[in-house]
Amino acid sequence: MIICTNCGYQNQDEKTFCDRCGVALGVISVGTKQLGTDDLSSGSEKLGDEHIVIVHLPGVDDPLAVRVDEKIVFGRSGGEASEFALLNLDTYDAENKGVSRRHASLTREGSRLYLTDLGSTNHTFLNGQRVLENDFLVVRDGDELRLGQLVLKLFYK
């Protein structure tokens, strides 16, 4: 059995991602590409076939790899249980940086991801623009997400 470090769920040994929360259970290789001048405006809206999002946090060496099957909630431990996977950000000083227990969500529809603020106290920002509660905004490869004062960069694998 492999125990998920995000949610504590016991997964079968052959699993790559947690069956409960979607977080990678081991090291996931992150591909890179050389950007041409045409690639500098905005990233692709299309999520890869494996539905994997790589989450980079400033000052953290190892990015998080998360599979988004349906919906994932960004937040902290505690509070009401959610029917959707929680990406627990407690390890990254989330409480002191103003991240709510259920702060924001990424929802997959087909090959696109949509960001929604879940009524957070300290707001959600996408590329510097405030996301209003219940907005449903398209997230692109390379976008910056800010939850309170916690900054995340999202990349598609």
pTM for this entry: 0.74
Q: What is the DSSP letter of 129?
A: E
The model's pLDDT over 129-153, given as tens digits with 9 standing for 90+, comes to: 999 998 999 999 999 999 999 999 9
The model's pLDDT over 43-63, given as tens digits with 9 standing for 90+, comes to: 778 877 778 898 999 888 888
Cα 100–105–111 angle (5° rounding)?
A: 165
Tokens of 45: 């809206």
**How far apart are the C-alpha atoms of 61 and 57, rounded to whole Å?**
8
How many alpha carbons fall within 13 Å on the CB side of residue 50?
Answer: 15
Tokens of 132: 């209003």
The architecture in CATH of the region 22-28+44-156 reads Sandwich (2.60)
